[in-house]
Structure 1
């Protein structure tokens, strides 16, 4: 008996009408024929294939580029011309007219040392010179008299020779006294402290009232019109450095980088580190100060290489890999890298040379590589370009190995 007649027979029994009415819905559901499998509804529930939509900036180009190799350096800034004003005369510092930051001219009087002792020594030397002059006059007068007497035979030849020697000794004594007086005058001039160069005062190392010893440091002056960066160069890079090589330096406290140029290279290396000192000249800038720290790059060489931005290289596995766009899908490729550098100039975008692993660029179109900022993507993913211009010229498919 089929399911439908059994349902009608059960409803005729009086004792079962209430139960049958409650279970009617369940019985009718059980009496419905089963839905056959393999319908269109099952097919419609299948997930759609994922598509990666790319916008400008989601890909980079692998192509021949100018790759600039550079050397990272760091070190302090220093003024080319600096000077320490020292005491050439021992004595009390009477006055000092400049402070840190003051601008001075070459030859300007900036202080004074007590010169009273020097004046007394000068007076003593002048008196001694006067005494020596009087002694010379006496010796020369005696010499003239003895020359006349020796001709008349009143004195011997030996007496005349003695007079000649006495006059020569008196003349030498006068010259020595005059030299001592000149030295005292110069020491008196040294009581005035003068700036040897023009520039700005960077340190004030003594205060008025102090007694200064000979060669005691009083003031330091720096000239910021010519300033250099002093950096250490490792021995392996010395052969590639060339005078005049451009550099780009980041000075602490400045947002922008400043251009510089290699002007000198120390011929001696440090015996401890084996590095040599290089001097990079910078153009004058109001923010540059003697002693500031800088870091940057010196350009070593410019070469053309098949390269792409270093950020597109995926180095989470070895060997590194890239995802390049072949028509409308991504292809994962392991690559062999070579030289690294910057594009255009030191401080530009970081580049890496691709030696093997990528196909040659299509004729008339660049070889596009997925940017490193687009993560979590595998090879074989379908891609679509958002912009019409990019979609009209997708990268051509290429299977040849570079």
Structure 2
């Protein structure tokens, strides 16, 4: 504590002669306290700096370790609405091809009024066969009918006269019975002759080659002057109604997803035009050699649809909602297809999946993924389950 001492001196006469003031210095404790506080503050600062350095030294190796992890690109596929499309190729053909050959006994062809590419109606003559001999036979059969009819008329007249005389007793009942039998035989011979003439006429009619139904003539394999018979084979090939179809070969898996009535787009090779059709038949069997079945797509007639040509098709087989991944993200082994998933902790996980259709966007994942996982996009062949990576989202 600071304090002052004041001293006053008096003279002998009793008057104050001088005043002396003595100031005593403050104690050293004040300075000591100040330096103590300064030392405490410096110690706190030094402690904070030391702690910061220790923390920095611990964080640096962790950051270094994080930077040394392999960087992989991941995607989150989500759920995509994919219109079902199945690509298939095949051969164009007539939907209902009608081969036409010799129906009758044949003969020499005298005329062929139609050619390949012509439209014909039902019953139209495609080729005519010489029938000069058959016509003579028909005329002979017609004459035989006249002869038989004359005999029948005479037998009827004889019977009528006998019936008139039997009442007078000039003709016996036995004679009447004989004349009646003669009349009946004559009438029967008339009917036989008529049947023979009808048979000849039917045979003559079958000499001509007729169109069984309306359609488009695809093939003509006969020429005038050619002799044809039962062994001549197919003379004409007709597409009934001109309808065409594509007989597309489809894999066993895709075949199970196709139903009758589904729409399809057909593009013939060499032409840029696309035709619309519908699936009208799905093969009930699978070829054991190539594991494929045939899908038949019906189409209306068009000049560009030439039977025997090659064409590609896109069959609309329904809509699915599923994750879609690029081909680079899907791996495979002896057990099937799989992908690598990166968890929230950065650890790689192997996930088995089942693939579906192949689209322009990628491959549909039928099962195994929800769509919210982080899927490794590339470099899956260099990873193993349990590896820790640094995922970077595309």
TM-score range, shorter chain: 0.5 to 0.7
Asked if residue 226 in structure 1 is aligned to residue 226 in structure 2, the reply is no
Alignment of 1:179-258 (within 5 A): 179-214=195-230, 216=232, 217-223=234-240, 225-230=242-247, 242-247=259-264, 251-254=268-271
The residue that corresponds to 1:341 in the other structure is 357
Equivalent residues of 2:74, 2:375 under 8 A apart: yes
Q: Partners in 2 of 1:270 and 1:150 — Cα distance? A: 85
Deviations 1:205-244 (A, max 9, x none): 2222121124744222224632234467889888766432
The residue that corresponds to 2:339 in the other structure is 321
Q: Partners in 2 of 1:63 and 1:252 — Cα distance? A: 37
Of 308, 331, 343, the match for 1:291: 308
Greater Cα offset, 71-80 or 332-341: 71-80
CA RMSD of aligned residues (A): 4.7
Q: Partners in 2 of 1:275 and 1:173 — Cα distance? A: 65
Asked if residue 124 in structure 1 is aligned to residue 140 in structure 2, the reply is yes
Deviations 1:190-217 (A, max 9, x none): 4443333333332222222121124744
* Secondary structure of the corresponding residue to residue 93 of structure 2: strand
Q: Partners in 2 of 1:272 and 1:377 — Cα distance? A: 38
Asked if residue 82 in structure 1 is aligned to residue 107 in structure 2, the reply is no
Q: How far did 1:128 drift? A: 0.8
Q: Partners in 1 of 2:347 and 2:299 — Cα distance? A: 47
Equivalent residues of 1:67, 1:341 under 8 A apart: no
Equivalent residues of 1:68, 1:301 under 8 A apart: yes
Q: How far did 1:143 drift? A: 1.6
The residue that corresponds to 2:78 in the other structure is 63
Of 335, 349, 364, the match for 1:351: 364
Equivalent residues of 2:217, 2:238 under 8 A apart: yes
Equivalent residues of 1:262, 1:280 under 8 A apart: yes
Q: Partners in 1 of 2:199 and 2:354 — Cα distance? A: 71
Of 114, 126, 136, the match for 2:130: 114
Equivalent residues of 2:107, 2:129 under 8 A apart: yes
Of 171, 177, 193, the match for 1:161: 177
* Secondary structure of the corresponding residue to residue 353 of structure 1: strand
Number of residue pairs matched by the alignment: 320
Asked if residue 133 in structure 1 is aligned to residue 146 in structure 2, the reply is no
Greater Cα offset, 107-116 or 254-263: 254-263
Equivalent residues of 2:259, 2:282 under 8 A apart: no
Q: Given the two structures, how large is their TM-score scaled by the length of structure 1? A: 0.61
Q: Partners in 2 of 1:145 and 1:196 — Cα distance? A: 55
Q: Given the two structures, how large is their TM-score scaled by the length of structure 2? A: 0.62
Deviations 1:136-186 (A, max 9, x none): 111111121222223333233232222222222211211221222223333
Q: How far did 1:129 drift? A: 0.9
Q: How far did 1:261 drift? A: 2.8
Larger radius of gyration: 2
Q: Partners in 2 of 1:166 and 1:275 — Cα distance? A: 74
Greater Cα offset, 65-74 or 185-194: 65-74
Q: Partners in 2 of 1:142 and 1:233 — Cα distance? A: 82
Q: How far did 1:281 drift? A: 2.1
Q: Partners in 1 of 2:141 and 2:361 — Cα distance? A: 71
